[in-house]
Amino acid sequence: PESADLRALARQLYESYLKYFPLTKAKARAILSGKTSDNTPFVIHDMKSLLEGEQMINCRQMPMQEHRRSDMGIMHEVELRFFHSCQSRSAEAVSEVTEFAKSIPGFVNLDLNDQVTLLKYGVIEVLIIMMAPLMNKDGTLISYGQIFMTREFLKSLRKPFCEMMEPKFEFSVKFNMLELDDSDMALFLAVIILSGDRPGLLNVKPIEDLQETVLHSLELQLKMNHPDSLQLFAKVLQKMTDLRQLVTDHVQLIQLLKETEVDWCLHPLLQEIMRDLY
């Protein structure tokens, strides 16, 4: 009976994962491997294709004052505008992750302050994990899989923009070798969200109890779904250490951008999350 409950939990989390996250790993891998004929992404590999891609997806434009246009130069403006649209997408993704978190059985019954803390500290880790299926060693899908942006192009941007994605590529290439599928990912995301060691939590015990159940469910899921992959459960959990370092480095880069870029403005939701984070 206990394992039946754990399987039911896995199914429930997988269903809400499918409900709230529009681009699944299955779909992303089909696009990346060219297995879908109707979904060939537009490739951004230089500034010219970035401008074309921008028009194609009609991304929200950052208002620019005319006098700054000439001062900054058109290329600087494009980079800032692109990262501005990345922020808008990240804010939407935070909203999707919040809905997913609320669907974890017991989450909404936790102290509301603790729900805020769990999301504040967990959401960037979740977003980085969710980026992995969109990436391969050569680049990443963006804009719901409509666009493929090359890793080389991202590396060619001026500092510190060029340093933003490279650590995520390095992590993702290794993480993807674990070959988790969407149903495994759903449970792993829930485990990350339900971390009882986040700073400032008021009532740790119910969070740890919830996480323990999801961990049992993940362990069972991985044994059943990947019977030949030895120690996969332990390998997946080890990734949580790398994730914390990635988030710390990411937040530091964002702080640097705030200090060095005149026209940089951080989305209010991302500001809330990153303020006093680490």
Partner 1 sequence: LKEKHKILHRLLQNSSSPVDL
As a whole number of angstroms, the distance between CA 23 and CA 143 comes to 10
Burial group, residue 193, by CB count within 10 angstroms (0-12, 13-18, 19+)? buried
Segment 3 to 62, residues that bind partner 1, using CB under 8 A: none
The phi, psi pair for 18, rounded to 5°, reads -65, -35
Residue 167, Cβ neighbours under 10 Å: how many? Answer: 16
Return the number of the residue (15 or 92) whose C-beta is nearest partner 1: 92
**What is the per-residue binding string for partner 1 in 151-190, x denoting contact by CB under 8 A?**
----------------------------------------
Min. distance of Cβ 59 from partner 1 in angstroms? 15
Contacts 24+ apart (CB under 8 A), 215-220: 215/191, 216/6, 217/6, 217/7, 217/9, 217/10, 217/13, 217/187, 218/10, 218/184, 218/187, 218/188, 218/191, 220/3, 220/6, 220/7, 220/10
Min. distance of Cβ 86 from partner 1 in angstroms? 14
Query: End-to-end alpha-carbon separation of the chain, Å?
Result: 42
Min. distance of Cβ 258 from partner 1 in angstroms? 18
Return the number of the residue (39 or 98) whose C-beta is nearest partner 1: 98
Segment 53 to 112, residues that bind partner 1, using CB under 8 A: 88, 91-92, 94-95, 98-99, 102, 108, 112
Return the number of the residue (61 or 238) whose C-beta is nearest partner 1: 61
Min. distance of Cβ 32 from partner 1 in angstroms? 27
Binding site for partner 1 (CB under 8 A): 88, 91-92, 94-95, 98-99, 102, 108, 112-113, 115-117, 119-120, 200, 267-269, 272-273, 275
